[in-house]
């Protein structure tokens, strides 16, 4: 059975029409180009690529949510272009979306799980039997009467999986299912998908995380810029080769830190303390410099940054800007002084997801474009477009909602939002968290360009490669204290871990 073909694409190409702000046709973009892929029964294949590379667009063809403009897709021998096969295809190729909220519409969990079989005309008694079996399979039976709104991200993801497996599909497509999960929730998801594979289901697992691929897949298919790059045996390709396939660059080229002449001291923190979080923290950062602030989770790095930006109050210590002692009571004070902060949680703290890209970017300086009564929207749009282009945001227009962007592009919008204000210091808290390797390289380049233009940058990060690759100096924190400072020339992973 495992050698039988479950899914196949033949020269699959998908194009869409680009339009400008007025709706006029600008041109045609190929979102997926000439993909040839086959998946056997019971096989687990990973599909990797940076955000915007075409992975999700490809996946929607497997479930007949999109149709190719050229080529063809077969699911269990059925061509997706033949309308008579539509419901059979959607039953046999179950789709689990990146955002589980898109699949959760019922008042209680069991309604969501039963909706798929009910929609297919399955008799009521059999529906509830399938619901019970599916919820037990994903460990969510005890939550069957709970409201989905009260579940964690991982629990919602499991409900989405239960809803798909209740339809008894032969193939399951998972689109970035671990993107918003904790390590523990990801491990629980791995066990569920392994069980489904062992029971004979074919799994297509779309991700940008290498750990997903190594944990589960036998083969990996790589996409880059809408192009199918190749399909490889997982045990025959190295990390370095995978990164080059995904981003088109060697791993050593991912950190494009330019040579910058370091200038005078801009920000200085002296003996800063906040009871229960950190104590006697001191460091400084100079013009054109990237200072790394690293340490294990819980070391107090984020709390220090929030205090500098005025989100929290320090009990002791002083902050100096350009040699002058400053008093920061709130974020507005910090912004007026020229200090900007990119929070770790961009979706809840950095963006208003229901707002357009442009309005998110101009939010810190909206009063510059008029009053409460009148707003110079043309001027506002021009600045938003300029800043979005400055950080190379991938979107059709600045009127696209922030919620519609990939994680990497959302992060770019938050950076553009900072750059719209007149700032001297940028505090970037885990700036590449949750984004793929291609988006990371783009963010690193933006950081390098900003340092070159004179910004003083504090980068908080838990990732050793980017700390070592991007920073001029590194301050290490442990248990709320600065335990060491290293110059880039002397810093190694081992020395950082010692501190």
Per-residue pLDDT band for 318 (boundaries 50, 70, 90) equals: very high
The whole-number pLDDT of residue 390 equals: 80
Q: pLDDT tens-digit profile of 483-492?
A: 999 988 888 8
Give the predicted TM-score (pTM) of the model. 0.61
Q: pLDDT tens-digit profile of 390-404?
A: 877 888 788 888 888
Q: Which residue has the tokens 């690193």?
A: 444
3-state secondary structure of 67: coil
At 132, give phi and psi (nearest 5°): -60, -45
Written as six digits, the tokens of 342 are 């990119």
Rounded CA separation 46/336 (Å) = 47
Q: Which residues contact 343 (CB under 8 A, 6 or more apart)?
A: 349, 350, 429
Q: What is the mean pLDDT of residues 33-46?
A: 89
The whole-number pLDDT of residue 1 equals: 45
Continuous H helices in 149-288:
153-165, 183-198, 210-216, 239-247
Q: Which residues contact 199 (CB under 8 A, 6 or more apart)?
A: none
Question: Does the pLDDT of residue 249 top 70, yes or no?
Answer: no
Written as six digits, the tokens of 464 are 């050793």
The whole-number pLDDT of residue 266 equals: 95
Q: pLDDT tens-digit profile of 213-229?
A: 888 888 999 888 778 88
Question: Does the pLDDT of residue 251 top 70, yes or no?
Answer: no
Per-residue pLDDT band for 373 (boundaries 50, 70, 90) equals: low
* Packing angle of the helix pair 377-390, 407-419 (nearest 10 deg): 120
Is residue 135 a contact partner of residue 161, using CB atoms and an 8 Å limit? Answer: no
Rounded CA separation 240/250 (Å) = 7
Rounded CA separation 142/127 (Å) = 18
């Amino acid at each position: 059975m495992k050698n039988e073909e479950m899914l196949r694409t033949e020269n699959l190409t998908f194009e869409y029409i680009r339009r400008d702000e007025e709706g006029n046709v600008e041109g045609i973009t190929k979102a997926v180009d000439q993909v040839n892929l086959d998946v056997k029964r019971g096989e687990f294949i990973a599909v990797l690529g940076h955000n915007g590379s075409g992975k999700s667009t490809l996946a929607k063809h497997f479930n007949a949510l999109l149709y190719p403009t050229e080529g063809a897709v077969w699911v269990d021998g059925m061509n997706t272009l033949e309308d008579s096969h539509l419901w059979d295809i959607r039953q046999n190729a179950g789709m689990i979306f990146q955002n589980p909220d898109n699949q959760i519409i019922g008042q209680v969990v069991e309604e969501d799980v039963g909706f798929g079989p009910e929609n297919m005309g399955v008799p009521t008694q059999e529906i509830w039997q399938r619901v019970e079996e599916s919820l037990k399979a994903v460990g969510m039976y005890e939550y069957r009467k709970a409201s989905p709104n009260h579940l964690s991200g991982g629990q919602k993801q499991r409900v989405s999986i239960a809803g798909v497996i209740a339809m008894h599909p032969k193939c399951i497509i998972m689109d970035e299912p671990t993107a918003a999960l904790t390590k523990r929730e990801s491990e629980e998801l791995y066990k569920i998908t392994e069980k489904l594979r062992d029971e004979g289901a074919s799994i297509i697992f779309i991700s940008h995380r290498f750990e997903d691929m190594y944990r589960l897949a036998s083969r990996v298919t790589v996409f880059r810029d809408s192009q199918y790059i190749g399909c490889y045996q997982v045990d025959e390709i190295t990390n370095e080769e995978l990164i080059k396939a995904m981003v088109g660059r060697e791993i050593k080229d991912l950190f494009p830190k330019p040579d910058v002449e370091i200038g005078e001291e801009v920000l200085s923190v002296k003996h800063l303390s906040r009871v229960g979080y950190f104590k006697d923290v001191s460091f400084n950062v100079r013009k054109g410099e990237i200072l790394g602030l690293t340490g294990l989770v819980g070391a107090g790095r984020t709390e220090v940054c929030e205090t500098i930006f005025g989100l929290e109050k320090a009990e002791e210590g002083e902050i100096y800007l350009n040699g002058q002692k400053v008093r920061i009571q709130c974020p507005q004070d910090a912004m007026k002084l020229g200090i900007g902060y990119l929070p770790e949680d961009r979706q809840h703290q950095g963006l208003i997801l229901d707002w357009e890209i442009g309005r998110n970017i101009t939010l810190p300086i909206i009063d510059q474009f008029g009053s409460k009564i009148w707003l110079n929207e043309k001027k506002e749009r021009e600045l938003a477009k300029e800043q979005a282009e400055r950080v190379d945001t991938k979107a059709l227009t600045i009127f696209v909602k922030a919620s519609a962007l990939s994680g990497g592009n959302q992060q770019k919008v938050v950076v553009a939002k900072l750059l719209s204000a007149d700032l001297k210091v940028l505090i970037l808290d885990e700036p590449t968290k949750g984004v793929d390797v291609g988006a990371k390289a783009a963010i690193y380049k933006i950081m390098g360009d900003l340092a070159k233009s004179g910004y003083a940058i504090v980068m908080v990060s838990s990732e050793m490669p980017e700390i070592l690759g991007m920073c001029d100096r590194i301050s290490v924190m442990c248990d709320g204290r600065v335990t060491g400072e290293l110059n880039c020339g002397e810093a190694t992973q081992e020395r950082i871990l010692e501190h």
